[in-house]
């Protein structure tokens, strides 16, 4: 009986660990976006480019669920929170556009789209940082 309880507890923890690993702080997501953006802009290797864009995509998806410090205490359905999430959604769309180009092997164009990420960052940091 005791062994079954330990086994069930271990199994439960094992199943929940990927979920815990995915839930990051908004600051961590922003750091991941910045690091991967740097990799995107520095590489000409298709595999490295795709890997970095995938990292950006994952971080942006997670960031969309966060709340910037400037908006702490705001209701989730407030206009400012909706605007924050829309800014992240816009970035996700740009990342997906760059991913599609990278998958086709058009590295130059993928990097041109990625260069637009900086303008999205600038606009949204002015509002929410």
**pLDDT higher than 70, residue 16:** no
Instruction: Please check whether residue 25 is in contact with residue 59, taking contact to mean a CB–CB distance below 8 angstroms.
Output: no
* pTM of this prediction exceeds 0.85: no
Sign, CA dihedral 91-96-97-99, equals positive
* Lookup result for tokens 């910037």: 68
Which of 24-28, 35-39, 54-58, 61-65 has the lowest average pLDDT? Answer: 24-28
Q: Look at residue 41 in the predicted model and tell me its pLDDT.
A: 97
Tokens of 4: 């079954």
Give the confidence band of 3 by pLDDT, cuts at 50, 70, 90.
low
CA atoms of 84 and 86, how far apart (whole Å): 5
């Amino acid at each position: 009986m005791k062994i079954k309880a330990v086994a069930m507890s271990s199994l439960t923890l094992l199943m929940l660990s990927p979920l815990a690993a995915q839930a990051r702080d908004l600051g961590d997501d922003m750091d991941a976006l910045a690091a991967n953006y740097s990799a995107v802009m520095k590489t000409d290797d298709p595999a490295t480019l795709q890997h970095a864009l995938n990292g950006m995509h994952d971080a942006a998806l997670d960031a969309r669920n966060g709340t910037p410090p400037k908006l702490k205490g705001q209701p989730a359905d407030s206009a400012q929170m909706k605007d924050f999430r829309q800014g992240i959604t816009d970035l996700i769309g740009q990342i997906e556009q760059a991913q599609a180009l990278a998958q086709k092997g058009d590295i130059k164009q993928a990097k041109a789209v990625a260069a637009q990420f900086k303008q999205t960052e600038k606009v949204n940091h002015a509002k929410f940082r």
